[in-house]
Amino acid sequence: MKKLTTSVLIVALSSSFTIVDAQTKPKNDTLKETAIGEVVITGAMGIKKKLDQQTSSASVVNNAELTQANNQNAAAALTGKVAGLTVSQANSGVNGTLDIRIRTSKTLTGSTTPLIVIDGVKSSVSVYAQLPSDMIESQTILKGMQGAALYGSDGVNGAIIVTTKKGNSGSRKVRVTLNSGLEFENALFVPDRQRKYGQGWYGQRIHVENGAWGPAYDDPKYAGQMLPSGIPLYDVNGDGVISINGDNGNTPQQDISSSLFFKFQPRSKDNVREFFQTGTLLNNSLTVSTGDSEGYASLTINNQQKEFIVRDDKNKRTNVLFKGGFKKDKWILDGMASITNSSTNVTNGDVYPNILHTPSEIDIRQFDGVLNDNRAYAWTKYYANPYWDIKHNRGTSKNTTFNGTVNLTYKINEHISIINNGSGQYVVGDGLSWRDAYSGTGQRPFVNGVNAIGASYAQSNSINRFLYNDLMADFNYELTNDLQMNFLAGFNVQESYYKITSAGGDGLNIPGKYAVWNVVTPKQPYSLNNGRTLSRKYALFGNLDLNYKDYLSLNATIRSEWSSKFINSQDVGSSKSGYVYPSVGVSFNVKNAFSSLKTSNDLSRFVLKGSWTRVGQDDPVGVFGIEDTAILGNGFPFAGGPLSFVGNSEPTAFNVKPQFITSTEFNLGLGFFKDRILLDVNAFQTDTKDLITWQSTSAASGINRKLINIGKIQSKGIEIELGLVPIKTQDFKWDIRASYYAQKQKVLELPDGQNEVAIYTSGNMGIYAVKGENFPIIKGTGYMRDDQGRIIIDEKTGNPLATNNFINLGQTDPKYILTFNTNLKYKNWSVYATMDYRAGNKIYSDTMYRLAWGGYLVDSAEFDRTQGGYVIPNSVYMNAAGQYVANTSIKSGGTSYNDVPTYYGGIYSSIAENFVIDAKSFKVRELGINYALNKDTARSIGIEGLQFGVYARNPFYAFSKENRGYADPEASLSNGSNIRGISAQTQYPSTRVIGFNTIINF
């Protein structure tokens, strides 16, 4: 295989688009572009090859595109930039979590997260998420399974290959780069809530209720009046009056027996939105680098200080990364060492759910100030004051991550090299959480009828260690003048160790002293998170690349892997822990194969690819999963005797084996007019058999369910990527990139006797795998309907009839995703935008469910509550003759105001279908403008370069009409699993970011 020189710096905007070549150029040539097919990418095990020699689909995102909107989360910066790669904000917060997926799921119960490889060795999502984008040179996304097959079970979900920055090449001049940015963050949206009815219940004005079932704001009895809300206060100043917000007489004061007073009318602004502050992020990064072709060194220091939209929720993070390498005789050494220190301080209280249950006449901010120390309850006696929670119910965490990699190569001769890539990660975590007590005595609010709040404390200490090493021999030969061969053989070993120790309890002897020794009632260790796990993997692998005349390429891989998860300590001899995973792929460059096409000026690229892969996955099986374990009985050791053990009620079958995924993929790549028009089409199918999933068992057996190998799922998908350069002159260039990704996943087989498997359940809904249906789907209670789809009601009560069984309420994954990226460059200016559209899926909104109960749904105020409920549109009832008759007069929800809250809190809330909404969404992910100072001008002021940028992330969005801000369609209860399509009311709203950054090169 032809050698790749280090004199080429490849900057890829994607696997399908413009590539900038930094080779030596004539003085009058400011920009030279390399044909897309000639781009060199970094694949599995660090193997480099041209894009058109890669036999499965891959995309590359370079540093310039990654950092265009200064997103210092490298994963989040990929959103909307690669077809088939879905990056979703699973949960917002000061340390929001991301769900990263490449194409479809390969499992029901295992992980869906792709493998992360940093500088040639396996890493983790947590390390990846903490790696600032400034430190990354490029990311290669191996979408096709064949591209990541060399990693075995680790690469079953695809792989993201991260290459961090090196020092300068060409000279030993020291280069210094300073990147400084400031961002402002606000809530992107909050749910629409009705603004016609105020605080109360059953139509009465009750100033301590947590619902908006009170009188209408235009009720003459109350309209425009100053009315009390919340718990009455004691005289905290001793002067017979209460001061609001600590102004001591500068604001209206009320009698000591009163609550705070508000005018009975909706506020001009949304009071939930008013609660959230403007968050900030200050990011500073300093890089010092030097080097030449014989050696390099680079040091990057990055510091981030973030304050979230919830006051006092903060995160501070510092990264220090050193990377260096050299060549000496036959030795080549590259290494990277980093340390990351992160500390987070957040409230543990249910702040967001509490403020969502706020009638629109209440100014939430009035319960802030000096009162937050004494006022655990605010406008209602049922929910804690959010400002009290912010101060008295908190959690802190500190994590220190040590990460190091070593890449060592010894060239025996020009054809044979010995390579060793190794890494080690060590993460130390410390967590604390506490809640102060509140009794309502002394100089505190009058708490008649209010529950006291008990103190609690918990702490944890964890260690997470991961070791990884690949020892490889690389053989590179030209077998003939036309045929090049590269063969790589290696041995892999990896070990994961995790330990956590927790302690805590209820009550504090000395208020404000947060320590285990101060706990009144310690919790038993088994009720807390305590334990340790250890797992190992060993593998032998081989990779063969053959390239004939630069137009026909063959890649074949094989990996034999042994996992300790499949070794049973009671029967080691018969344990089958080793399995073989093969793959093969072919790439045919049609343009290079025929001389008539090779000289064509109109056709610049024509390549066909196909691949087949078989890989196993052990992830659904937990560490020690197949061991015959037991757990402590409830109350041990105080109940059931000194050895109160019970068998594991959710065991894994002793003979469980990996679930095997077979993938077939075909690719077409076309380019026209010197790659001014580019088209890539990828089609794939994956089949997972021996599916590891849960089998229901009889309760009489003492086992709730069992993890076994039975089942099969199939996925199909297509990716279409289009790249255009409509305008290209000496001073102006316009790039456009668009993609279409569609997928379909079905459950073909399940354990004997089962038609469905519950992935997650809660109340009247859940996420399910159903035989013959798309996967995953939301199932829950729904309306009973006639054969015309009309809702059936009870003629006597008017209440709609609900299904006895759960029904299919929609799939959770989008049926298709559209992305659009554009970049306009004019001289030193550039303007860019990234956006995507997702459609064809549903989401269950827990927020909508809670708002319905509390009287805040907009729909619940679209009729006159004083007259009872409403006639359900398109509803029917059965007459005496047994026929369905259109309903035009029978109300659901009763005939008086007293009936309405009961109806919404009961019948309406029990039907999950009411809270499953269309999850289609359009988001502008990035929008910004950059200006780079002319190099000559920059040097005239003593610097090498200067760039300014103004940008926004998530500046605009559009959801379905029925989604009135009830849920971000991307939200989910977890990341890296199939528990998607559910939005919890505890999840903070998504955010919009506006920022500024400056990059200076010295």
> Are the beta carbons of 356 and 856 closer than 8 angstroms?
yes
pLDDT tens for each residue of 874-887 = 999 999 888 999 99
The answer to whether residue 650 scores a pLDDT higher than 90 is no
The answer to whether residue 420 scores a pLDDT higher than 60 is yes
Q: Who has greater pLDDT, 374 or 130?
A: 130
Q: Which CA distances in Å does 104 have to 16, 75, 121, 126, 978?
A: 22, 18, 24, 22, 10
Q: Which CA distances in Å does 437 have to 346, 456, 625, 919?
A: 18, 8, 40, 41
648 pLDDT band, cuts 50/70/90, is: low
> Distance between CA 767 and CA 983 in Å, rounded?
12
844 pLDDT band, cuts 50/70/90, is: very high
> Are the beta carbons of 791 and 785 closer than 8 angstroms?
yes
| Antiparallel, parallel or unpaired: β 982-983 and 842-845 | parallel
pLDDT tens for each residue of 785-837 = 999 999 999 999 999 999 999 999 999 999 999 999 999 999 999 999 999 99
239 pLDDT band, cuts 50/70/90, is: very low
* Spatial CB neighbours of 148, under 8 Å, sequence gap ≥ 6: 44, 114, 115, 142, 155, 156, 158, 159
Q: Who has greater pLDDT, 259 or 823?
A: 823
The answer to whether residue 633 scores a pLDDT higher than 60 is no
User: Among positive and negative, which fits the CA dihedral 989, 992, 995, 1001?
Assistant: positive
What is the predicted pLDDT for the residue at 257? 38
Phi-psi region at 91: left, alpha or beta (left = phi > 0; alpha = psi -120 to 50): beta
Q: Which of 489, 573, 499 is closest to 532 using CA atoms? A: 499
Tokens 């963050």, residue?
A: 185
The amino acid present at 833, given as its one-letter code, is A
641 pLDDT band, cuts 50/70/90, is: very low
The answer to whether residue 448 scores a pLDDT higher than 90 is no
pLDDT tens for each residue of 313-354 = 999 999 999 999 999 999 999 999 999 999 999 999 889 999
The amino acid present at 884, given as its one-letter code, is Y
Q: Which of 980, 997, 981 is closest to 113 using CA atoms? A: 980
User: Among positive and negative, which fits the CA dihedral 778, 779, 782, 785?
Assistant: positive
SS3 699: helix
- On average, the pLDDT of the chain sits at 86
As given in the structure block, the two tokens for residue 308 are 């979230």
Tokens 């501070």, residue?
A: 316
- Residue 784: what are its φ and ψ, rounded to 5°? -75, 135
- Bridge partners of 129, per DSSP, are none
What is the predicted pLDDT for the residue at 465? 95
Q: Give the pLDDT mean for 605-614.
A: 95
233 pLDDT band, cuts 50/70/90, is: low
Q: Which CA distances in Å does 231 have to 251, 375, 485, 676?
A: 19, 9, 80, 69
Neighbours of 601 (CB within 10 A): 8
- Bridge partners of 456, per DSSP, are 435, 506
The answer to whether residue 215 scores a pLDDT higher than 90 is yes
As given in the structure block, the two tokens for residue 138 are 């490029």
Q: Which of 163, 173, 144, 196 is closest to 62 using CA atoms? A: 163
629 pLDDT band, cuts 50/70/90, is: low
> Are the beta carbons of 243 and 249 closer than 8 angstroms?
yes
> Distance between CA 560 and CA 616 in Å, rounded?
10
Q: What count of Cα atoms within 13 Å lies in the side-chain half-sphere of residue 312?
A: 16
Q: Which of 307, 68, 288 is closest to 176 using CA atoms? A: 288
pLDDT tens for each residue of 979-997 = 999 999 999 999 999 999 9
89 pLDDT band, cuts 50/70/90, is: confident
pLDDT tens for each residue of 510-530 = 988 999 999 999 988 777 888
The answer to whether residue 656 scores a pLDDT higher than 90 is no
299 pLDDT band, cuts 50/70/90, is: very high
Percent of the chain with pLDDT over 90: 62
779 pLDDT band, cuts 50/70/90, is: very high
Q: Which CA distances in Å does 683 have to 11, 585, 670, 973?
A: 27, 14, 15, 30
Phi-psi region at 772: left, alpha or beta (left = phi > 0; alpha = psi -120 to 50): left
901 pLDDT band, cuts 50/70/90, is: very high
Percent of the chain with pLDDT over 70: 88
What is the predicted pLDDT for the residue at 392? 92
Q: Which of 155, 112, 188, 87 is closest to 817 using CA atoms? A: 87
SS3 837: strand
Q: Which of 956, 896, 895 is closest to 924 using CA atoms? A: 956
Q: Who has greater pLDDT, 77 or 246?
A: 77
> Are the beta carbons of 739 and 818 closer than 8 angstroms?
yes
What is the predicted pLDDT for the residue at 752? 75
